Structure formats: structure tokens, C-alpha cells
Structure 1
């Protein structure tokens, strides 16, 4: 396959993931404006923002079946239309119920983007290159994390949040049409199994010991990372680190940039480290441990510049994404779409749970001027760190499930 086709596949589907990431974190900029307009509490805001993730999660299993049956090109282009409608509903809403419907539609609409990008990459690139290609895909998506920091804050100085919603919907439709028109049609070659058989394959994945072993640590760390990055990291910077809103927005962009570099760097290094005798599984685990250590340093309020801590948080926060490449070693190619969406399902259910849980937990403390006590944030962060440590123990615990899984594929 020519390099030009591969590059086209990469950029088109990475653009779809950029849209997904942009919608994921857009409430960081919208939150104070929506809260002011509609008088939302922290619990309301947590629920509203997390509906993206529950919509995303609930769509994963049917989306995985559709990807393996119809291919990423058609499915991605069609689903992005729902996202465009969702952001328009959000921007037009005058109450919490309408905002919730819009946010849910957005989550469903972009639910295909990450798995479609990984599916298209698995179709067009050799397995040995997938950690790097997936890392670059995450980096392009990470630009969305950068965009919801200072760039969005600047845009909201000249346009209101409802006008921004209209523009985002138009941009989403442009990306949808571009994928439909220019992505290779070969990507939509159908797998011959019928839909019922496809769903049975998903059930097989959910029963797989290898799947849960690979997923154990990454789903918890990714759940924490994205729950914080898409909503709660900015309140932490404001309330605990006592930064100005402008400084906090700048650090959100730093986090997004760092996540981009971390995804590419870890993806590029993974196979080279493997040639030196360290598996991608172990390398991924090491990166996630560094992510947990970074959180501990933040909770201890280590005497380091906030930019350094946020950069480390971003660099190591995305390392769990290597789990998608690891899955390709344990499941056959015709099941990769469902394997990826099943992994994404678990991650996004946890993001939903963590995001709602953090908002509910913070609401136990009285807020002053929209800010919560330092003790409230630290209690939440310590609880999440404890969960990640427990999942790390499971990930590192010896198991025969991985050997059996690899033997079944090869």
C-alpha cells in the first residue's frame, strides 16, 4: 500500500478524533458561563459534562459491530452528523434538560472516532507500527485538549458560548463530509459474518481473561486522566494551586500539548524497548506508574512549578493508550474494531463514573464564590490514587491469561 494512502487514512481519521477530543473538553471553557446563565451546581455540572462519556460508552458495542461490518469510513461520517446536531441542541438550550440531551447526542456522535481511527490504522499499517501510529493519532486528538485551554478562552472573549456551538457544528459536518469523500473505500470492505455473529464476538471479548488483564490498569488511569482533563483539572488549579483563571487556562493547554508529546514519544519508544527485551505490556505499565507518581506529587504539593507538574501529568496520563496496540497482539484482525470499542466502553464508563463522582463528592463541602475547599479536592484525588494503585497490583500480578490469549491468535 502506498505511503500517500496511509497518510490520507491517518490524517482523515485523526481529524475525526480531534473533533471527539474537542467536544470532550469544551465544557472546561463553557462551564463558568453555563453555570452563571443557568445556576448549575457542581453536581449538575459534573452530570452534564459526563453525559458525553455515558453516551460515548453506551454506543461502543453497537459501534464496534458496525465498524467490523461496514468499515470506518461510512460509520464515522454518519455518526459525526449526530455530534453536529448535539452541539447545536446544546447551544440552543435554555434549561438543564436540553443541555443534557445535546451533550448525550454529542457523546453518541463522536463515539466512533477513536476506535475508527485505530481500526483504519490496523487495516492499513503493519502491527509493528501501530503503537507509533496510534500515538500520533492521540497527539492529533490532543490538539483538541490544547484548543479547549487558552484558545477557547480567547474565543469566548469575542463570541458567546452559544455562537461557538454553532461554529463547532459546522466544523463537525465539514470533517464528516471530508472523511466520506476522501477516505479509501477499501476501508469499508465488509466482514462476511452477520450481525448476530458479530455480537457473539463481542461477548467472547468480554469473557476473555486476556482482555481484562490488559485493560485492568489502563482503564482506571485513563478514566481518571480524562475525567480530570475534561472538567475537574481546572477547578483543582484554581482552588488548590490558587492560580488565576488565565494561568489555569494556559496550563490546560500545556497539559494537552504534553499529552500529545507523551503519546507520540511512548508510541515511538514502545517497539524499540520491546527489541531490548521489555514487552509493550510492561512498558505501558511503567508509564502508568509514573502517572500515579505525578498525581501523588500534586497531592503532596511538591515544590515544583505548576507547569512542570501539569506537563508530567499530560505526558504520562496518555500512556495507557498503548493498551490498544497490545490488544492487536491478542485478538484477530477481524475482531479489532470490537476489541477497541469494548476497551473504550470500559474506559468511558469509568470516566462517566469518576466525573459524576468527583462532582458529587465536592458538593459535600460548601462552595464559596464557586470554589471548593482544598481539603475537598485532596480527598477526591487521594481516593482516585488509591483506586489506581489497586488496579496496578492486578495488572502486575502474574497470570496465564496473556500467554493463552497470544497462543490463540498465533
Structure 2
């Protein structure tokens, strides 16, 4: 393992939760994370309008929406270096200004290329939404409260996903998607100013890690056998969930379930609400089971089985017009986020941030590929008279990635027989 002598060591975390930290740290960062989920999910509502106004095919819609993920993913490793060197306030604030520009450009874009570049700028601009906040939480909140604070913070993303459903549909009764993105640009600029002006700066007590140390640590992470047992399953499950939540649930509900715009928006809202509950629920369940001797990887494995069953119910159209399968999928779709905790425990504590960033890179690279691939597969079927696609197109596209998650789960379970079930080597 590389030397850790140059590792960053900020001042000691507080011993209690202070109201000042909630108001000046938690809420500004939560605003950025909330908006990142709005941007991530909003295309599921405006998909039909985008296709009609710009003339996009299903494949082009998938490529456009996935621009967010490819830019987000490409910036994950540089992001870790910048956060260590300049701190979460400055890095996140600057990036949110870039997201503001991307949203404004999306509002005036007329071609696929213009919209793709604008959405890529949005993805780049919100790339620090989670990682900057997690670093700030470790600086300003007591260690024993980190799980609770992190869970509440993740729930803010779920609220953003909820806002990108029926509330956005309601806004679109008064403006079009271009006006919506201009409004989002103004909201993003306001949050950027709050991060710059309200969030306090934490002084360092030692120099940040140098580039050589950072790269050496990444080599150790990517060369670790357990990482490659866990990462394919986790990244594929999260990427498939992101692609469905962020885009393809909307067209499925329209074309397969036959819902109108209001019905689609309502179902997406309840699914996002279930996802929000799931963020807090699964962390609490895992914590409770650990105290009773159940290892975290066992909870994760059982959860992935539930994930596969929930998605299979949707694929099999067991109740195509019912909201229950979508609520179930929303509730369990984020189970694989437990993988971040597994990796934090597996690697030395000074590698925890880089290990999670290494997984996050794969998640968003996969999300880019999955979202674009679903569109390409759906586009293999000719569009019907109303502009929709047949059931078989969506079942085939979703089913391909259901199968890949299943194979990755089998790969993980085979490795679990030969590795510590809690993933720990510390």
C-alpha cells in the first residue's frame, strides 16, 4: 500500500450537531444535490415533448439523456483530487456555475448536438453534488451521526426526483420545457451563490495528498480482486435503476401501460417517493441487521434478489396498469448503494473516498451505456402511428440489463464463498 504521510487531516470533527452546521453546510449542499436529481430525472417527463419539438428518435433521446452520465463519470477521478486540494465549498460552487450555463444553453438548444453538449455541461456541473457534501459532512458533523446525516442528505436527492415528476408536469401547463430549464438555471445559480457565500471554510492542518500518492492509491483499488467481485453487480444495478428512473420509466408507462401524461407523472412521483423512503430505509435495516450479526454483504445480496424480482414483475407485465410494481421497484432500486459502505470498510480508511469515487466512475459510465443502449434497442422496432413503440421493444431492452445484473450477481456470490462476507480486510 502507498504511504499515507501526505494524507489530508482536517481539524477534528465536532462532538455534537450544531444548528449552524445544518443551516450553513447541510442545506446549501442539499440544495445542489436536490437539483442534480431534478436534472437527472426530468427527461422522463419531457421525453415526448423533446421528441416532438426537436424530432428525436428513441435512440437519439437515449444518447441525449445519457450525456449527463458520461460527463458526470468522466469527472469523478479529477473531482477527488480537486476536493482534496481546494475543499468542497469552492469546488462545488464553481461547478454549479457550470451547471447553470448548461441549463441555460439547453433551454435555447435546437439541435441534438447543441442539446447534448448542454446536458453534458449540466452533468459536469452537478458531478460534485454527493462527493463534496460527504466530505463537508465529515468536516462539520460528529462522526457518530454521519450515517443519519448521510441518510437525510441522500433523501434530498429523492425529493429532487419527486419534484421532476408531477410537479414538473404541473409547471409545464404554464410554460414549455425551454422555460422550465431557464427556471432551473436561475435556481442553480442561486444555490451556487449560497454555497460560495454561506458555507464556511474549514482550515487544513496538513498538506493535501500529492498526485503520485492519489494515483498509487487508485492502482491499489482497481487492482483489488474483491472490488471486481462487487463492482460489476453494484454498477450495473445502479446504472439500470438510474436509466429507468431518469428516462425510460416514462416512455414505458406511456406505451406499455397506456397512461396519459398526468397518469405517467403521478406514477413517477410515487416511484420517486418510494425511492426517497428507500434511501433511509435500507441504511436503517442494514444497521439493525448488523447489530444482530448479519453481515452487510449478506443484506446486499438478499436486496439484489429483491431488486431482480421487482424488475421481473415489471418485465412480465404482472400488473401493467398497477402502480404496485413500480412502487416496489422504486423502494428497492437503491439497495446497491450499500456497496459504498462495503468498500469503505474493505479498504484502509484513507482510501475510502477514492474507493467510492472509483465505484462511482463505473456507475455513471455504465449509466451512460445502459441509457443509450436501451434507446438503441427500442429503436429496432418501428414506431407505431401514435409515435410510441410496441411492448416487446421495451421488454427486450429492459430484459437485456436484467440478465446482465443477474449474471453479475452470480459472479459476486461465487466470489463471496472465497472472500470475507463483510468485504473487510482491515
TM superposition score normalised by structure 2: 0.90
Match of 1:149 in 2: 165
* Aligned 8 A contact 1:57 1:349 in 2: yes
Match of 1:227 in 2: 243
User: CA separation in 1, counterparts of 2:183 and 2:217?
Assistant: 39
User: CA separation in 2, counterparts of 1:191 and 1:340?
Assistant: 22
Match of 1:311 in 2: 327
Q: How does 1:71-86 map to 2 (within 5 A)?
A: 71-86=87-102
Name the SS of the counterpart of 1:120 in structure 2. Answer: helix
Match of 2:120 in 1: 104
Match of 2:9 in 1: none
Name the SS of the counterpart of 1:406 in structure 2. Answer: coil
Tell whether 2:412 aligns with 1:395: yes
The 1:292–1:126 alpha-carbon spacing in structure 2 relative to 1, beyond 3 Å, is farther
* Aligned 8 A contact 2:84 2:209 in 1: no
For residue 29 of structure 1, the aligned residue among 40, 45, 61 is 45
* Aligned 8 A contact 2:72 2:364 in 1: yes
Q: Spell out, residue by residue over 1:258-310, the C-alpha distance to the aligned partner (whole angstroms, 9 max, x if none).
A: 00001111112221110101122221222222111001111222248622111
* Aligned 8 A contact 2:47 2:251 in 1: no
Q: How does 1:367-382 map to 2 (within 5 A)?
A: 367-368=383-384, 369-382=386-399
* Aligned 8 A contact 1:45 1:359 in 2: yes
Q: Spell out, residue by residue over 1:37-82, the C-alpha distance to the aligned partner (whole angstroms, 9 max, x if none).
A: 2111111111000000000011111011212232222211111111
Q: Spell out, residue by residue over 1:94-131, the C-alpha distance to the aligned partner (whole angstroms, 9 max, x if none).
A: 21111111011111111111222233334455666544
* Aligned 8 A contact 2:17 2:141 in 1: no
Match of 1:94 in 2: 110
How far did 1:223 drift? 0.6
How far did 1:191 drift? 4.9
* Aligned 8 A contact 1:133 1:267 in 2: no
Tell whether 2:289 aligns with 1:273: yes
For residue 52 of structure 1, the aligned residue among 68, 82, 85 is 68
Q: Structure 1: state its 5+ residue gaps.
A: none
Q: How does 1:155-194 map to 2 (within 5 A)?
A: 155-186=171-202, 191-194=207-210
The 1:223–1:404 alpha-carbon spacing in structure 2 relative to 1, beyond 3 Å, is closer
TM superposition score normalised by structure 1: 0.93
For residue 121 of structure 1, the aligned residue among 111, 116, 137 is 137
User: CA separation in 2, counterparts of 1:103 and 1:209?
Assistant: 35
The count of corresponding residues between Structure 1 and Structure 2 is 408
Name the SS of the counterpart of 1:158 in structure 2. Answer: coil
Name the SS of the counterpart of 1:243 in structure 2. Answer: coil
* Structure 1 runs (4+) greater than 6 angstroms displaced: 187-190
Q: Spell out, residue by residue over 1:380-402, the C-alpha distance to the aligned partner (whole angstroms, 9 max, x if none).
A: 12211111111111222225555
Q: Structure 2: state its 5+ residue gaps.
A: 1-13
Structure number with higher helix proportion = 1
Tell whether 2:400 aligns with 1:383: yes
